[in-house]
Amino acid sequence: MRTTTPDTPHIRGRWRLAGSAAAATAALLAAGLGTAAHATAATATTHGVSARTVAAQVAKAHVQYEKAGCGATPKKGFAACDALRVTGGTTAYMEKQAALKGVTPKTVRPDAASASPTGYGPSDIQSAYGLTSAAASDGSGETVAIVDAYDDPNAAADLATYRSHYGLSACTTSNGCFKKVSQTGSTTSLPSADSGWAGEESLDLDMVSATCPQCSILLVEAKSASDANLGTAVNEAVKLGAKFVSNSYGGSESSSDTSYDTSYYKHPGVAITASAGDEGYGAEYPAGSRYVTAVGGTALKTSSNSRGWTESVWKTSSTEGTGSGCSAYDAKPTWQTDTGCAKRMIADVSAVADPATGVSVYDSYGADGTGWNTYGGTSASSPIIASVYALAGTPAASDYPAQYPYAAAGTSALNDVTSGSNGSCSTSYFCTARSGYDGPTGWGTPEGTGAFTG
Range with the poorest average pLDDT among 93-107, 138-152, 290-304, 409-423: 93-107
Q: What pLDDT, on the 0 to 100 scale, is given for residue 52?
A: 76
Percent of all residues in the chain with a pLDDT value above 90, rounded to a whole number: 75
* Nearest Cα residue to 119 out of 379, 388, 376: 376
Residue 36's pLDDT band (cuts 50, 70, 90): very low
Q: What pLDDT, on the 0 to 100 scale, is given for residue 34?
A: 36
Residues ≥6 apart with Cβ < 8 Å to 262: none
> What average pLDDT does the segment 103-126 reach?
85
Q: What pLDDT, on the 0 to 100 scale, is given for residue 384?
A: 98
pLDDT value at 253 more than 70: yes
| 60, 205, 263, 284 from 315: Cα distances, Å | 16, 25, 33, 17
CA 230 – CA 276 distance, rounded (Å): 16
Sign of CA pseudo-dihedral 68, 74, 80, 82: positive
pLDDT one-digit tens code per residue, 177-223? 999 999 999 999 999 999 999 999 999 999 999 999 999 999 999 99
Q: What pLDDT, on the 0 to 100 scale, is given for residue 230?
A: 98
- Cα dihedral 258, 263, 265, 269, rounded to 10, equals 130
**HEC letters along the chain:** CCCCCCCCCCCCCCCCCCEEECCCCCCCCCCCCCCCCCCCCCCCEECCEEHHHHHHHHCCCEEEEEECCCCCCCCCCECEECCEEEEEEECHHHHHHHHHHCCCCCCECCCCCECCCCCECHHHHHHHCCCHHHHHHCCCCCEEEEEEECECCCHHHHHHHHHHHCCCCCCCCCCCCEEEEECCCCCCCCCCECHHHHHHHHHHHHHHHHHCCCCEEEEEEECCCEHHHHHHHHHHHHHCCCCEEEECEEECCCCCHHHHHHHHHCCCCCEEEEECCCECCECCECCCCCCCEEEEEEEEEECCCCCCEEEEECEEECCEECCEEEEEEEECCCCCCCCCCCEEEECCEEEECCHHHCEEEEECCCCCCCEEEEEECHHHHHHHHHHHHHHHCCCCCCCCHHHHHHHCCCCCCEECCCCCECCCCCCHHHCECCCCCECCCECCEECCCHHHCC
Range with the poorest average pLDDT among 65-74, 184-193, 232-241: 65-74
pLDDT value at 269 more than 80: yes
How deeply is 356 buried, as exposed, middle or buried, from its count of CB atoms within 10 A (0-12, 13-18, 19+)? buried
Cβ count near 43 (within 10 Å): 11
The average confidence (pLDDT) of the chain is 88
Q: At residue 230, what are phi and psi to the nearest 5 degrees? A: -65, -40
pLDDT one-digit tens code per residue, 330-356? 999 999 999 999 999 999 999 999 999
> What average pLDDT does the segment 359-374 reach?
89
CA 451 – CA 9 distance, rounded (Å): 27
Q: What pLDDT, on the 0 to 100 scale, is given for residue 12?
A: 34
Residue 112's pLDDT band (cuts 50, 70, 90): low
> What average pLDDT does the segment 69-73 reach?
90
Amino acid at 157: A
pLDDT value at 44 more than 70: no
**Global confidence as pTM:** 0.89
- Cα dihedral 395, 397, 400, 404, rounded to 10, equals -30
pLDDT value at 77 more than 80: yes
Q: What pLDDT, on the 0 to 100 scale, is given for residue 302?
A: 78
